[in-house]
Structure 1
Amino acid sequence: MTKKHLTILTGGSRGMGLAMGQQLLREGHVLISIARKTSEALAREATDARQLQQWQQDLSDSGEAARRLGTLLSSLHEDDWASLTLINNAGVIPRIAPLAQVPVDELLNAMRVGLEAPMALTGAFLAATDAWRIPRKVLNISSGLGRRPMASQAAYCSSKAGMDHFTRCVALEESRKPHGARLCSLAPGVIDTDMQAQLRTANPAEFPDIGNFEALKADSRLTSTDEAAARVLAYLQRGDFGTNPVADVRDA
């Protein structure tokens, strides 16, 4: 029997996450989608009930999410799978305003979902499969804003910068092992998502860069979610994936 590829994906209920999940299912992957809500659009792509699990999980409770993933992976047998991949895609933007004006609950939630959860899930993923010899990959969806500062985006920029750097650290750890996982924190380019709409509708008095995001939309410089997903998944399949632990999908 042909072995299947297993992918765990966060934020698979909408946007680029949904598009990635749909494309993975069409390619025959077994998919575990972790999101606050299930997606009928994602479910329609599954060929049968065994191909897709949709976990309703608030990723701000990163401890519960990590324990749940660790329990699942510890119950699996390496010989049943061709490869194992974790894609940390979920993220949120709190109120778009200077840090002093962001409600503390929104700030903490953004950091938990955007940085704490990816770290916890990556740790659980690696711990449960440390002895596995099949290919294992961790793809963290980062952003150009993790590599340059922007006013009124302290939480999002910081979570993505943290994602980049923890990926570098863990890649060093895994490189010391004979069958270590390969990791990459990948910026996917500018994508036409709800997050972009959120940025365009911010209060101009609180967000000095709003004009840049309005121009991206007006000038048709945003990539569709389907196209962005295809480019990200193609990068994931590159033979040199993980060689550069912090990368951009547009890298040659």
Structure 2
Amino acid sequence: MKYAVITGASRGLGEAIAKRLIQEQIAVISVSRTENEELKKLAITNDLYYQHYSCNLSLEKEVQEVFMEISHRIFLKNPEEILLFNNAGMIEPIHTVGELDQTPILRNIKVNLVAPILITNIFLKKASITNSSIQIVNISSGAATRAIEGWSVYCSAKAGLNMFTQTTALEQAELKTKNKIITFSPGIMDTKMQETIRSSSKESFKDLEIFKEYKENGKLLSADLVAGALVDLVLCGKAESGRTYHISDLIN
């Protein structure tokens, strides 16, 4: 049986990924600070294994403890394949350098970069002593390759995640494992993150009006559409390890 671990599964893209995987009869392990009761009910309706773990991804010790437990429980089941979606992310702080506060800087880097590194490390270490293979999807952003005023921390964290993915893919290829790791840039979606962006100030974020127009003009992608395209890619088995996939590659 296949198992999927999804961070940030309580809402947005993570929730949409979880729903699609449940429809595909894949067991789901949800990780977020709060549980999405709708996912739980959907799994029960489909007679499918589902488990939620509460975790604050900005706390390294908590990440280590929670994901050590998750990996231990999953690998005991000798799964056919594990799908790991490092989806949770945060955009804040939105401000120019020189006006940033230390606490949100560190929280952003921990959630967007440190947590995916720690989680990936735990799962690949466990996989190295089992027969199970892993596909890892790190959710990136166009901001990883394009500087955006006011988003210095977010851009830097996502750029780091891209490089971590490429490096890990090289290492797994050298070790001749069956494991794959990719990054996925989901485009501009209609999610809570976009609400946060639109609520920022013009002084902090130069492109504020552009992002407001995306919403007003109906240019935001639905999370369900993006999740469907990503899950199709992962399940087809043809994803190229180390590559960054963009939503425009998959739906156009």
Q: TM > 0.5 between the two?
A: yes
| Deviates most, 195-204 or 130-139 | 130-139
**Length, aligned pairs only:** 249
* Counterpart contact for 1:78–1:132, Cα < 8 Å: no
| Deviates most, 167-176 or 18-27 | 18-27
| 1:161-210 CA distance string (max 9 Å, x none) | 01100000000000012324100011011110111111112111221111
Identity of paired residues, percent?
27
Give the match for residue 212 of structure 2.
214
- Say yes or no: does 1:173 pair with 2:194: no
1:214 to 1:77, Cα distance in 2 relative to 1, 3 A: closer
Unaligned residue ranges in structure 2 (runs of 5+): none
* Counterpart contact for 1:62–1:113, Cα < 8 Å: no
* Counterpart contact for 1:13–1:39, Cα < 8 Å: yes
The DSSP-based 3-state class of the residue aligned with 1:138 is strand
Q: What is the distance in 2 between the residues matched to 1:164 and 1:146?
A: 7
| 1:31-57 CA distance string (max 9 Å, x none) | 111101111122121127861111111
- Say yes or no: does 1:35 pair with 2:36: no
- Say yes or no: does 1:192 pair with 2:190: yes
Query: Structure 2 matches for 1:61-210, cutoff 5 A?
Result: 61-77=59-75, 80-210=78-208
Unaligned residue ranges in structure 1 (runs of 5+): none
| Deviates most, 37-46 or 132-141 | 132-141
1:238 to 1:31, Cα distance in 2 relative to 1, 3 A: same
Output the amino acid matched with 1:13. Answer: S
| 1:49-92 CA distance string (max 9 Å, x none) | 86111111100113332333234323444773221111000011
The structure richer in helix per residue is 2
1:76 to 1:88, Cα distance in 2 relative to 1, 3 A: closer
Q: What is the distance in 2 between the residues matched to 1:65 and 1:246?
A: 25
Output the amino acid matched with 1:114. Answer: N
CA RMSD of aligned residues (A): 1.9
TM-score (ref. length: structure 1): 0.92
| Deviates most, 21-30 or 7-16 | 21-30
The DSSP-based 3-state class of the residue aligned with 1:81 is coil
The DSSP-based 3-state class of the residue aligned with 1:6 is strand
| Deviates most, 68-77 or 86-95 | 68-77
TM-score (ref. length: structure 2): 0.92
1:76 to 1:8, Cα distance in 2 relative to 1, 3 A: closer
* Counterpart contact for 2:93–2:153, Cα < 8 Å: no
* Counterpart contact for 2:137–2:181, Cα < 8 Å: yes
| 1:204-234 CA distance string (max 9 Å, x none) | 1221111221121122111111111111111
- The 4+ residue runs of structure 1 with deviation greater than 4 A are 75-79
1:179 to 1:79, Cα distance in 2 relative to 1, 3 A: farther
Give the match for residue 24 of structure 1.
21
| Deviates most, 211-220 or 40-49 | 40-49
Q: For 1:15, which of 6, 12, 15 is the aligned residue?
A: 12
Output the amino acid matched with 1:154. Answer: S
Q: What is the distance in 1 between the residues matched to 2:236 and 2:122?
A: 25
Q: What is the distance in 2 between the residues matched to 1:72 and 1:41?
A: 21
The DSSP-based 3-state class of the residue aligned with 2:236 is coil
Q: What is the distance in 2 between the residues matched to 1:193 and 1:77?
A: 33
Output the amino acid matched with 1:205. Answer: E
Output the amino acid matched with 1:93. Answer: I
